[in-house]
Structure 1
Amino acid sequence: MDEFMRAMPNHLARSSVYAPVARGRKRIHKGSVLVSRADAVMKFWGEQLDEGQADVWMQAVYEACRSPLGGPVIIKRAAFLRSIGRQTGNYEYNWLNRAMQALTFAMLVIEVRDKDGRPKLSVGKSRALHMIDGFDFDDEAEAYTLRIDPRWRPCLPIASSH
């Protein structure tokens, strides 16, 4: 992908996992089946995610794809916010931290079938699949260390060399 592009798996983009939700109106899901394509069943646990959190996730995946998926990725929070078109300041830093928490808590089970109805992809059924596998924040460095579960690889448009 070009430097300015970000992507997410088609099954996520075509589902209701990220929604235009008004502040304060988010639902808490407990195994909810999301609206998705006919060939996929997606179950979701966690706070309803919004479009701003989609930006955070796509940028986190972009940053993570620069090294082996699943390994630690260090991101400076100010640069990260600027990369998604946000300002930097106390409000935005708190917003980013809340987004990281919501994405780390968010858990999915994704099952995709081919056109003949045979299983094509099943992720998260036997071991939790989180949007962000985990993160730590270093106050002194003003940086996050995060991890993206390598099981996202079959769903992501990333180079096979990573």
Structure 2
Amino acid sequence: MHESQSQEKVTQNNISKIQVILERRLREASERDSFKSQLQGELTRACVEEVCIQEQFPLFPSLASAMPTQWTRTGLFSNIKKGERRILRSEVLEGRSDYRVRMSGEELDMYDNDVFLHAVQLAQGLSIGEPVYFERAAFLRAIGRGSDLSAESYCRLHESIERLASATIFVDANSSGETFRLIDKLKWGQENNYWIMIDPMIVSLFANSYLAFIDMEIRLRLKSPLAKYLQNYISGHSIGVHRVAWESLRRWSGSRGRARDFKTRALPPALNELEGVGIIERWGIKDEVVSWTRIAHARSKRRS
């Protein structure tokens, strides 16, 4: 009987040791899980902070707006005349072969471009989901239309904003692609105030792309739509001499007149405008090629 009690005691001791070991292992596992959760939380917070930084609309130089450089080499915003606007359905826009842009909606002209560029100015520093507020009279003054605050002028602005909100853009580049709207949401009220939200894809695109900075102070002094298109195009290139086939500019800019008229009647006055405001100098047209020298901005420290 004594031997039986001894064996029972040994068994109980072994069970107690196993329980102690098991409890220790469970505590260690719990601590590991807690530590793992803590690390995951820190990583999640870091990722959220990084995304917020990436998806914030960038800040531009003083008095400038911007467009992705690739956009300046397409017909996204075109030099079309009154009455020429077409309705597009997934139509490929004129542009370089390495960056194909398709669009559905009403064609966008250089007035629409002015409206978009100022909306982008107002969106600087905002994150995805943050709205842009503006009053329509102040908006018209900012894009150089402040001398005419008529009902017709307000209607033209509203129609332009609606075109930007309804246009759908498709981009195909290097076996990848994306689709977006220039303005994601739009709201307006009786007090002449507007509320717009830039498409999240646009915010991300501006935050992670090479941008062409467009001087809006100089833009207000340009009169012809073609000169404004060329300002976009030239702003997407480096300082110095540049050459391009004038026929390419005619197609990319959406100019639909005769090629000869573009070369002799439309292009020279537009280049003269750009030279007059200090964007280019020493321009010339020879045979099939137009050339110019892009000048460093007056406020830029970069001279080459």
Range of TM-score over shorter length: 0.7 to 0.9
Secondary structure (helix, strand or coil) at the match of 1:7 reads strand
The alignment status of 1:46 with 2:105, answered yes or no, reads: yes
Structure 1 residue aligned with 2:142: 83
Structure 2 residue aligned with 1:32: 91
Task: Tell me if structure 2 keeps the 8 A contact 1:16–1:36.
Answer: yes
- State TM-score, norm by structure 1: 0.83
Give how far 1:25 is off. Answer: 1.1
Task: Tell me if structure 2 keeps the 8 A contact 1:27–1:47.
Answer: yes
Secondary structure (helix, strand or coil) at the match of 1:74 reads strand
Task: Tell me if structure 2 keeps the 8 A contact 1:7–1:157.
Answer: no
Secondary structure (helix, strand or coil) at the match of 1:91 reads helix
1:87-102 equivalence runs, <5 A: 87=146, 88-102=149-163
Give how far 1:65 is off. Answer: 2.3
The alignment status of 1:130 with 2:191, answered yes or no, reads: no
Higher strand fraction: Structure 1 or Structure 2? 1
Alignment length, in residue pairs?
147
Structure 1 residue aligned with 2:168: 107
Amino acid at match of 1:155: L
The alignment status of 1:152 with 2:152, answered yes or no, reads: no
Candidates 56, 81, 102, aligned match of 1:22: 81
Measure, in 2, the Cα distance between the counterparts of 1:3 and 1:94: 30
Task: Tell me if structure 2 keeps the 8 A contact 1:11–1:36.
Answer: no
Q: Which ranges of structure 1 fall in alignment gaps of 5 or more residues?
A: none
Higher helix fraction: Structure 1 or Structure 2? 2
Q: Which ranges of structure 2 fall in alignment gaps of 5 or more residues?
A: 1-59, 209-304
Measure, in 2, the Cα distance between the counterparts of 1:13 and 1:139: 36
- State TM-score, norm by structure 2: 0.46
Per-residue Cα deviation, 1:126-152 (whole angstroms, up to 9, x for no partner) = xxx111112111112x11100101211
Secondary structure (helix, strand or coil) at the match of 1:135 reads strand
- After superposition, the CA RMSD in angstroms is 1.7
Residue identity over aligned pairs, in percent, reads 29
Secondary structure (helix, strand or coil) at the match of 1:156 reads helix
Give how far 1:64 is off. Answer: 1.7
